[in-house]
Amino acid sequence: VQLLESGGGLVQPGGSLRLSCAASGFTFSSYTMSWVRQAPGKGLEWVAHVTPDGRQQWYADSVKGRFTGSRDNSKNTLFLQINNLRAEDTAVYYCARDGIPYNGIYDAFDIWGQGTMVTVSS
């Protein structure tokens, strides 16, 4: 069971990025998937999650309207489109899996990727 993020990098304020999270070793289409970020030297912040069919997404207030979560179950991949980037979006972005297949309740995160770093700077 593995999650592997990619797509991070250095971007100017106002720019955009698309992060990806490739899943393997489990039935990806059965699990709600989340994005969690961690600014340098700071704590964890839940950012977004996407239900197994991709039809429902929830976002933290701090990113609502700028971040869009989606998934391609045929490719076992989760995405996070980040627009209008700000300095305060600088962080390591982790994808994480709910601990149980979705049953209407969002679970604790039992599998995490290694993270991808996003740096917003001019």
Partner 1 sequence: EIVLTQSPGTLSLSPGERATLSCRASQSVSSSYLAWYQQKPGQAPRLLIYGASSRATGIPDRFGGSGSGTDFTLTISRLEPEDFAVYYCQRYGSSPPLTFGGGTKVEIK
Nearest alpha-carbon partner for 89 in 51, 52, 42, 53: 42
Give the shortest CB-29-to-partner 1 separation in angstroms.
21
Q: Any contact of residue 114 with partner 1 (CB under 8 A)?
A: yes
How far apart (Å, rounded) are the C-alpha atoms in residues 97 and 29? Answer: 11
> How many residues would you count in the chain?
122
Binding residue for partner 1 (CB under 8 A) from 44, 68, 73, 117? 44
Binding residue for partner 1 (CB under 8 A) from 12, 40, 55, 61? 61
Assess contact for 95 and 3: CB atoms under 8 A: yes
Assess contact for 6 and 26: CB atoms under 8 A: no
Give the shortest CB-54-to-partner 1 separation in angstroms.
16
Q: Any contact of residue 101 with partner 1 (CB under 8 A)?
A: no
Binding residue for partner 1 (CB under 8 A) from 55, 74, 105, 122? 105
